Structure 1
Amino acid sequence: ATAQEYTVTEPGDYTVTVSGPMDFDCINYSAIQTITVSGSPEAYNASVTTLAFADSHQVVATATSSIPGIVFWYSLDGGEATTNGTFNDVSPGIHIVTITDGQGCWSDPQEVMIVDYPHFFTPNGDGVNDTWAIIQQEGIPISQIYIFDRFGKLLTQLDPDGAGWDGTYNGSQMPATDYWFKIIYIEGDSSAQKEFKAHFSIKR
């Protein structure tokens, strides 16, 4: 065949041989190149494997192909790609896991959401970290959030869809110390309510 371009419809290894006519010494020349054509996986996914409010969060991405030798690569938030799709100690919030074939032929970003709470906030009016609220609270159905002082006195009940607590009680700023919260929520496919308690700090 003399065509310079060929279209393949299946991923795999292809061998291309380029040869030419005899030169003046009556010797044929040729070159052989093996080309790996990759493709999209048959199945792929990225998900958070840990529960909300876990001490440490894990994200696992997988991709599978029936073609022998096809290796997929994974990166978290644009970081270095690796063939290991397990990411540990992932921070709360929204993250992007990019799955790629490593050949530049296919990639797909997957969004994952980790629900947790901030361990402190700084209500000093600078517009940064001025309120306390559950991180990515839209990721789970939350019915109630209560905040208490260190002696167990109820300071406020938060609207799960609201902006959070501004660190005040009856219009007065609360001191820089530890506070406790209780959250009632539903997680996963179960309709049973869960309760979680922990503490956080105000820093001024």
Structure 2
Amino acid sequence: MDDPTIANPIVTGTYEFGDVLNASNQREYLYVVTALDANGCEVSASIPLIVIPDESPQPMKSFSPNGDGIDDVWSVENVEFNQDCKVVIYDRRGRAILEKKPYNNDWAGRVNGNDVEQGVYYYVFICDDATRSQNGSILLFR
């Protein structure tokens, strides 16, 4: 493969793709290629790969707190990795109706025990690491 005079090199052999989860919640892979050269000698090479997962908050765009057991609370994927984040939810008039730190996927569209109107709400995640802070909208329908 590293001979530039060969126009169409052919590699035959096997490969391994090991998968280990390390202490930092990163996936560690070892990609090993083993091949036979023209003389029948085995040659191998390996490349370590580390995949860093996206642990930023990934909020649902909508939810329906109607008691049917499906999407009854506003959920945020990766919330367990973002316990340092404060969540503020605003109504359409810009009033903060919920502030929680940490947020634990438990807002069911209620404020002070009363159902809020269905409609569009806005959220802000304010995290200690500003690169994870974000904002967006939520559609609540019943």
TM range (shorter): 0.5 to 0.7
C-alpha contact (below 8 Å) 1:180/1:198 kept by paired residues: yes
C-alpha contact (below 8 Å) 2:86/2:125 kept by paired residues: yes
What are the within-5 Å matches in structure 2 for residues 173-188 of structure 1? 173-186=115-128
1:135 alignment partner in structure 2: 77
Task: Give the TM-score of the pair, scaled to structure 2.
Answer: 0.60
1:40 alignment partner in structure 2: 16
Q: Which runs of 5+ in 2 are unaligned?
A: 1-11, 22-27, 37-50
Q: 1:66 to 1:38 in 2, by over 3 A?
A: closer
Larger radius of gyration: 1
Which of 116, 119, 136 is the matching residue for 2:58?
116
1:25 alignment partner in structure 2: none
Aligned residues: 109
2:139 alignment partner in structure 1: 201
How far apart in 2 are the matches of 1:44 and 1:68? Answer: 21
Among the aligned pairs, what percent are the same residue? 20
C-alpha contact (below 8 Å) 1:142/1:183 kept by paired residues: no
Task: Give the TM-score of the pair, scaled to structure 1.
Answer: 0.44
What's the offset of the Cα at 1:38?
4.3
Give the number of the structure with larger relative contact order, counting CA–CA contacts within 8 Å between residues 6 or more apart. 2
1:166 alignment partner in structure 2: 108
Residue type matched to 2:102 in 1?
Answer: P
Residue type matched to 1:65 in 2?
Answer: V
How far apart in 2 are the matches of 1:159 and 1:166? Answer: 16
1:65 alignment partner in structure 2: 32
- Per the alignment, in what secondary structure is the counterpart of residue 179 of structure 1? strand
- Per the alignment, in what secondary structure is the counterpart of residue 181 of structure 1? strand
Root-mean-square deviation over aligned CA pairs: 3.4
